[in-house]
Amino acid sequence: MSLRKTAPTHVPRDTECAKYVHPFVRLIWDTIAEREVSVRSVSDVSGIDPHSLRHWRRGKTGPRIAHVEAVLNALGYRLVIEEIEK
């Protein structure tokens, strides 16, 4: 399944994040807005409920790392952990 763009006649809803959201959440919503994909298609591909995605954006809840990874994968990103060089 692939991500669907929003309909040309669709007026995009506010994708602005709350002031104090995690940078991953901000990256997710910036990518959704930039690529003009629907939240529903991100939800369908990632398996994360669209209400959860919106709650993250508003700062009502914080995502679990596995959920962040699923959404990032759906958007074409990979979550990587690197050792900090000393």
Q: Determine the structural domain holding residue 55 and report its residue range.
A: 23-74
pLDDT at 9: 46
If one counts the domains in the chain, the total is 1
Kindly state whether residue 56 falls inside one of the protein's structural domains. Answer: yes
Kindly state whether residue 57 falls inside one of the protein's structural domains. Answer: yes
Output the DSSP codes for 13-75.
Answer: PP-PPPTT--HHHHHHHHHHHHHTB-HHHHHHHH---HHHHHHHHHTSS---HHHHHHHHHHT
Q: CATH number for the domain including 68? A: 1.10.260
- Predicted confidence (pLDDT) per residue in 26-73, tens digit: 999 999 999 999 999 999 999 999 999 999 999 999 999 999 999 999
The three-state secondary structure class of 5 is: strand
Kindly state whether residue 8 falls inside one of the protein's structural domains. Answer: no
Kindly state whether residue 16 falls inside one of the protein's structural domains. Answer: no
Label residue 1 by pLDDT band (50, 70, 90): low
Answer yes or no: are the C-beta atoms of 67 and 25 closer than 8 Å. no
